[in-house]
Structure 1
């Protein structure tokens, strides 16, 4: 992911409207690009600060709130990867199970002369 693409995804990330595929690339880019990370921190600080002013409540540890949000996003990506792996494993088991049933059925038909 380029810096331009990451910068385009800063606000969707903050608003929670980023797709899972975009989120994965965005997080990887943010971890390795200090300029984009700084831009995310600035936008996040402004957005959270404005929301807290509007609501009259909130935490004053905005940097901590960003770290919490990023950690939750990383956990989401990790969970999705585990889910993809589980789906792949189940699909593979189903395929081999169906293949084995067909093989056994053909053997039964052969025994009875069908």
Structure 2
């Protein structure tokens, strides 16, 4: 049985700057994205903070702004990271099970 640590809105909002600046990874990113995907209020707050951050950061370098598309792209990238992490974790578990079964078979054959 897997245990997921549920993130509160307060925790999610506190971590928005880390997401916006790209400093989030691993389990932190996974929990954050699960919360954002299920909480419209926090997703709205993330959108606001992202749009402000990206708008201020790139204000001098752009002529056309499509910050909403950039935010959706950031969400997509975060989801890909979470999916890759889950796949890698599942692969490791499968490899460990196979190694354990192989060890048991070898032990049985040696006895």
Q: TM above 0.5, one fold?
A: yes
Deviant stretches of 4+, over 6 Å? none
Q: Which moved more, 1:21-30 or 1:8-17?
A: 21-30
Q: SS of 1:57's equivalent?
A: coil
Q: Deviations over 1:66-98 (max 9, x none)?
A: 011101111111111111111111111011111
Alpha-carbon distance change, 9 to 81 in structure 1, aligned in 2, over 3 angstroms: same
Please identify which structure carries the higher helix content: 1
1:91 aligns with 2:102: no
SS across alignment from 1:16: coil
Q: What's the C-alpha RMSD, in Å, of the aligned pairs?
A: 1.5
1:10 to 12, 16, 21: 16
CA contact (8 A) 1:52 1:58 kept: no
Once residues 11 and 55 of structure 2 are traced to their aligned partners in structure 1, the CA distance between those partners, rounded to angstroms, is 25
- TM-score, structure 2 normalization: 0.86
Runs of 5+ consecutive residues of structure 1 not aligned to the other structure = 107-114
The answer on 1:66 being equivalent to 2:78 is: no
In 2 relative to 1, CA 86–69 (structure 1 residues): closer, same or farther, beyond 3 Å?
same
TM-score (norm 1): 0.84
1:59, distance to aligned residue in structure 2 (A): 5.7
